[in-house]
Amino acid sequence: MEPSGFKFESDWSIGEGRQGWSNWLISDRLMLGQYPGAQPAKVGPSVADGRKHVQLLLSAAAVDCFTCVQAEVPPQDDASSWVDAAAQGQGFVRYLPTALEIGQTGELTLILTLTLTLTLTLTLTLTLTLTLTRRAGFREVPALPHS
Amino acid sequence: MKYLHCPIAEGMAPSDGLGETCGPLLALLDQMLLHYEGGGRAIYLHSWAGCGRAGLVGAGLLSLLRPDLEAAALLEWVQSYVNNKLRLRPAGAPEASLSARSCLRLPRAPASLGQPAAWAALAGPIQAVFSSQVQSAYESRACDVLPTEAVVSGVCAKPHLRSPQTEPQRRFVASFVGEVRAAHGATGGRAGLGT
């Protein structure tokens, strides 16, 4: 028997317990799960539950591709069809805009963090260099003798 | 962020094995493999409940990556995924540690996954769509959260806790695996996902 069933810690409240959303089929590469958003089950996850799950998928699982195999929902990237679906009361809430928004926020945070880190590093390096130079009294380093 | 969509009606599978109706599924699997080959990280594959159609497609991808696996082993692999996912636990109970994951990886992939030959052997004309017949309403299973003991590895008495879920889906996976193994010479072309 091959290894399988890698648990992914993301769940939502149902009755007295918690219900898992998804799980790894191939560790760190392929995750299978239920619709990652609010949907028309009798007792289903809320919009907030769905958002939290998507956040975890992007941050903890590094998901960079969503694949839908449902015929009962329009493609996530077809906004106009989702307007019609909502009007028909189908009950699924589109998740891709949430994922894109979270992804962009994450990228922006990363860029800001990297910029801040780089700035701090340069400042520290410059300060250290100046301090050492002053202590050395601008002395020249003697050349190594030729062999 | 990439998004892929392959509409399959609930409870359904391509109706003629690897014939014409399998075209969209093969195209989807090809896209998923291309995602990995292009440096993509993780794919979230979902249906409504994540058991039937997601299990079917997941099994298909797994069989292409591990053509050495026989259908029974592969179905057991997929079933153990859903056994964990649907496990109900008391509110606030801690989850199991994920520390075992790091030592349970698939074999590292070669530079190429070696798929083109397999696809050439398998892919039929991409023209048909899947059957549009829809199974019974989701309510029959959505809230039926069962205790762990209702599920046993490999065989599950509750059809909605099986993955792939329906008999046509399971038959399709078995047929698909057989074709993949035949195309790879049963044990040749072993491939996996490197990290």
Contact A103 B1 (CB under 8 A): yes
Q: ipTM of this predicted complex?
A: 0.75
Asked if residues B65 and A29 have their Cβ atoms less than 8 Å apart, the reply is no
What is the Cα Rg of chain A in Å? 26
* B89 CA: distance to closest CA in chain A (Å): 6
Burial annotation B17-34 (CB, 10 A radius, 16+ → b, else e): bbeebbbbbbebbbebbe
In B, minimum Cα distance to A99 occurs at B1
Provide the 3-class DSSP secondary structure of residue B6: strand
Torsion region of A13: left, alpha or beta (phi above 0 gives left; psi -120 to 50 gives alpha): beta
Which residues of chain B make contact with A44, given a CB cutoff of 8 A?
142
**Amino acid letter for position B76:** E
B4 touching A, CB under 8 A? Answer: yes
Nearest to B32 among A40, A67, A96 (CB): A67
Contact B6 A13 (CB under 8 A): no
Asked if residues B57 and A69 have their Cβ atoms less than 8 Å apart, the reply is yes
Summarize the confidence of residues A116-138 as an average pLDDT. 86
Which residues of chain A make contact with B83, given a CB cutoff of 8 A?
5
B105 touching A, CB under 8 A? Answer: yes
Cα separation, B93 vs B55, in Å, equals: 27
B138 touching A, CB under 8 A? Answer: yes
Model confidence band, residue A53 (pLDDT cutoffs 50, 70, 90): very high
The per-residue DSSP string of chain A comes to -----EE---EEEETTEEEE-EEEEETTTEEEES-SS----TT---HHHHHHHHHHHHHTS-EEEEEEEESSS--TT-HHHHHHHHHTT------HHHHHHHHHHHHHHHHHHHHHHHHHHHHHHHHHHHHHHHHHTTPPPPPPPP-
Provide the 3-class DSSP secondary structure of residue B175: helix
* B30 CA: distance to closest CA in chain A (Å): 12
pLDDT at A58 over 90: yes
Cα separation, B78 vs B75, in Å, equals: 5
What pLDDT was estimated at residue B161?
66
Tell me phi and psi for residue B15, to 5 degrees: -75, -15
A70 forms beta bridges with B8
Cα separation, B79 vs A2, in Å, equals: 12
Torsion region of A62: left, alpha or beta (phi above 0 gives left; psi -120 to 50 gives alpha): left
Which residues of chain A make contact with B10, given a CB cutoff of 8 A?
70-72
Nearest to A69 among B57, B84, B85 (CB): B57
Residue with tokens 């069962």: B146
pLDDT at A104 over 80: yes
Q: What percent of chain A has pLDDT above 70?
A: 88
Nearest to B78 among A19, A25, A69 (CB): A25
Contact A28 B195 (CB under 8 A): yes
* B60 CA: distance to closest CA in chain A (Å): 12
Cα separation, B178 vs B183, in Å, equals: 9
Summarize the confidence of residues B149-170 as an average pLDDT. 57
What pLDDT was estimated at residue A32?
92
B4 forms beta bridges with A67
Contact B7 A69 (CB under 8 A): yes
Model confidence band, residue B16 (pLDDT cutoffs 50, 70, 90): low
Strands (E), chain B: 2-8, 42-46, 89-90
Chain B window 151-180: which residues touch A at a Cβ cutoff of 8 Å? 163
CB hemisphere CA count around B119 (13 angstroms): 18
What pLDDT was estimated at residue A27?
82
B44 forms beta bridges with A31, A66
More confident residue, A68 or B142: A68
What pLDDT was estimated at residue A51?
95
Q: Which residues contact B91 (CB under 8 A, 6 or more apart)?
A: A13, A16, A17, A18
